[in-house]
Amino acid sequence: MKLYIGNTIRRLRLEKDMTQEQLADALGVSFQSVSRWESGTNYPDIELIPDIAVFFGISADDLMGLTGAVRDEKLSEAWRTVNEAEKAGKARERLDLLRGMRRDFPKDPDVLWTLAYAMSDFPEFYEEQKALTEQFLALPNTNRGFSAKRNDENVLVYALFRSAPDEDLPGLLDRYSSENIDMTRNALLNERYLVREEWEGYESTRQVMLHDDLLEIFFERLRKNYHASASDSAWAQRKSLEILNLLTDYSGGSLLNPVPDLWFEQKYLLGYRLSCALASSGRKEEALSVLEDTVTLIENFAALPVGTELTYECPSLDSFSCSILPQDDGGEKLDIGYQIPLKRVVYRRGDCSTEDWVVVKLTPLLERDGWEWFDPIREEPRFLSCVERIRKLAPAD
């Protein structure tokens, strides 16, 4: 394929009103080199192409006359060569070919992405890989759309985390982690640990991610939508409790396990919501029974002695635990009108620990706004008894 780089250099030189000697001095080459380029007897060294393009303020493609069909033909030839190297298992040769493509086609996002990803197999090129990843992230969305671009970005960031030296991790986490479920700090570290077979770190992040996923399920994620019917909501809350029971191997007589564990908050809130949905569905007896089981769970938690150790009762979450602490810490009292502080606890996950209060909310039982489904049973003696049983758990002023 014929390149027209010589004609382009001559045209651009004349537009700048420069002699061949002046251009040679500006580029740091000999007068004879410029003469041979313009006569077509030789081409500039490939390393010089970007410098010449920058000097004239054009792209490397334009410098070489690679436009339209000519450029597409050359690009297709280059990809065929790269694919052949990949099939032959010649990873380093493929990387060198991709580098050449990057020089020839500096504006092609697929070339940039493939080169950045290929470098993840070569730790010695980590800094270059990081720079190329940043260049790709800075590109505008292509015709493939936002979702495809973001997926490509995520893949490159994952590859970067696989390659990064340990000392670079804090900076990378600050730079790239986000609230997106596939780009959280734990998700990024989890990918790194898995690929590098660093199993202790992988197990730690795996448990955190599983924990977060389960909490999402128990936060009404099984409902069709937030305004689902009472019967749909009852089905969702019941299934959530059944999933909890499977995780903890509970097979007692009631749907709601009254034995306290680290699922306490999820269980009593699911009990509230299930009772509420059943009441609005006309199943008053079931609603009252579930509410009474929920209150029994709350009472059992309140009766736990100091020093009690709780877990998730699930082998896949065995790095989590908490223990009951004394309550006489002189700390700020919570507003018992809407939530009652039951216990002060210390939560642990591996070597990390945090102290907090476990509270039980009274809002669903006391307030109608948002909990109107309880209305069919609010005046029932058993409902009122449940409210009083929880109120008695509030610490004395």
Distances (CA, A) of 344 to 55, 269, 340, 352: 69, 19, 12, 17
* pLDDT tens, residue by residue, 229-244: 999 999 999 999 999 9
User: Is beta strand 339-349 parallel, antiparallel or unpaired with respect to 320-325?
Assistant: antiparallel
- Tens-digit pLDDT profile for residues 283-334: 999 999 999 999 999 999 999 999 999 999 999 999 999 999 998 654 554 4
Residues 6+ apart with CB under 8 A from 142: 109, 148, 149
Say how far apart CA 366 and CA 215 lie, in whole Å.
Answer: 25
- Report the C-alpha gap between 192 and 198 in whole angstroms: 8
Residue for token pair 């940039």: 112
Q: What is the pLDDT of residues 384-396, one digit of tens each?
A: 999 999 988 887 6
Which segments of the chain are extended strands (E)?
Answer: 309-310, 320-325, 339-349, 352-361
1: confidence class by pLDDT, cuts 50, 70, 90: very low
Q: What is the mean pLDDT of the chain?
A: 89
**Structural domains for the chain:** 5-63 (1.10.260.40), 117-197 (no CATH), 213-391 (no CATH)
